[in-house]
Amino acid sequence: MSALESKLDQLGALLKGVAAIEETGSGFAISRLPAWVNSRLESDPMLQMVAGQGSGVRLLFSTLATEIELGLVLTAMQFGDMPALPIWVDVQVDGERQRFGIEQASNVINPLMPELARFTNEPRVVTLRLPATEVQREIQIWLPQNCKISITKFAANAALEPVSSAKPKWVHYGSSISHCNEADGPLGVWPVVAAQSLDLDIYNLGLAGQAQLDQFAARTIVELKPDVISLKVGINTINANSLNARTFPHALHGFLDTIREALPETPILISTAIHCPPHEEGYAPTVFNPVLRKATASPKPAELFPQTLNLAMTREIVERVVAHRLNDDRRLYLLSGLDLFSADDAHDLPDDLHPNASGYLRMGQRFAAHPTVAAWLGRTA
């Protein structure tokens, strides 16, 4: 084999699950949202941060290469003195999984304890070595789902060929519970687990804290031209207290209207929120106790604010919206989030809000096996 040659100029053709690649001078920053979204934001650095994380993002190509190097500047978020989340790069070679652990992120942002922040911008290098072959093998390099990513090096000792997927393109929109920071690596993200089981080409718009039914997200979904769409809604509007019983149903209608105007026939699956103990009957917003490391609800709102939501209310609203729209939209499907993660699963909810790795894996498996999902995909007998 020849020496390693840079393949950075091929990133645009080989990266899947991203909408924008920005040259930064030291590398190429990725985003799961298109660049034009930044011009629509007043100020939201957290949205830019989570969009730049690699949930569902992978390099896909075929090659005879025996050595591939990937350099990544990884920026992680840490809250107070909570333990740092493990960072993994997962690689599939003709479907067989290999794992590369990253001991420490290049940079750490800590909004609660700034003195624990760290900024080195030092790349973390992953080297994949393979036996010689005379047959092209398909390689997928799945990037960390819980770090903002800039690619500083991408090199191989043979040509890399793009792989065009014949699989149906699935765009999934959701919260941190679809982003899956706590999953066991990028292949443990539950929409990825489900996509691999269902043989779908996943584009994950799980954006931690950001599933607020923003119009730019609906427009992004349209631009991605998916074959099937799923939306998991409810929890982030509770966390931030950003919508209420008056505005939430109309935001959901408007989000669906934007998609339907451009994609009138694309099947859309809407999932309600999974089980969340503090907010089943407890009201918005979410308060996180950094000592107990638990999410809690807020006190019952005063009588002047009867529109404040809890999760039971969001599920009822979503069900009403879907029932109303089914009168003239037969390509719409409803899935209860409690079918994916219920009160019986609460032992896998360590902070009472986010599932752990086992919980996410089970969610992906249950989604893939659900009869409503089969109907949404047109795979029923």
Q: pLDDT tens-digit profile of 67-107?
A: 999 999 999 998 888 889 999 999 999 999 999 999 999 99
CA distance 178 to 200: 16
Give 309's DSSP letter: -
Site of tokens 């840079």 = 6
| Tally of CB atoms within 10 A around 79 | 14
Helix (H, G, I), strand (E, B) or coil at 362: helix
Give the list of residues 6+ apart from residue 11 with CB closer than 8 angstroms, or none.
21, 28, 59, 151, 154
- What's 151-213 look like in SS3? EEEEEECCCEEECCCCCCEEEEEECHHHHCCCCCCHHHCHHHHHHHHHCCEEEEEECCCCCCC
pLDDT reported for residue 1:
61
Taking only Cα atoms into account, the Rg of the chain, rounded to an integer number of angstroms, comes to 21
Of all residues in the chain, the percent with pLDDT exceeding 70 is 98
Average the pLDDT over each of 129-143, 235-249, 287-301 and give the range with the smallest value: 287-301
- Determine the distance from the C-alpha atom of residue 9 to the mean position of all C-alpha atoms in its chain, rounded to a whole number: 26
Distance CA 57, CA 66 (A): 23
pTM reported for the whole predicted model = 0.96
- Could you give the CA distance from residue 135 to residue 122 in angstroms, rounded to a whole number? 35
- Cβ distance 332 to 326 under 8 Å? yes
- Mean of the per-residue pLDDT values for the chain? 95
Instruction: Check whether the bond before 226 is cis (ω within 30° of 0).
Output: no
Of the chain, the end-to-end C-alpha distance in Å amounts to: 50
Q: Helices in the chain by DSSP H: which ranges?
A: 11-14, 45-51, 176-179, 190-198, 215-223, 235-239, 248-262, 311-325, 357-369, 371-376
Q: Is 381's pLDDT higher than 80? A: no
Res 63 pLDDT > 90: yes
**Which tens digits make up the pLDDT trace of 107-154?**
999 988 888 899 999 999 999 999 999 999 999 999 999 999 999 999
Whole-number Å distance between alpha carbons of 77 and 96: 30
pLDDT above 90 (res 305): no
Instruction: Write the CB contacts of 292 (distance below 8 Å, at least 6 apart in sequence).
Output: none
User: Please, is 264 exposed, middle or buried when counting C-beta atoms within 10 Å of its C-beta (0-12, 13-18, 19+)?
Assistant: exposed
CA 148/CA 121 separation, integer angstroms: 12
SS percent in the chain: helix, strand, coil, step 5? 30, 30, 40
Query: Quick one: pLDDT at residue 156?
Result: 98
Per-residue pLDDT tens over the stretch 322-367: 999 999 999 999 999 999 999 999 999 999 999 999 999 999 999 9
As separate numbers, helices (DSSP H) first and strands (DSSP E) second, the chain gives: 10, 21
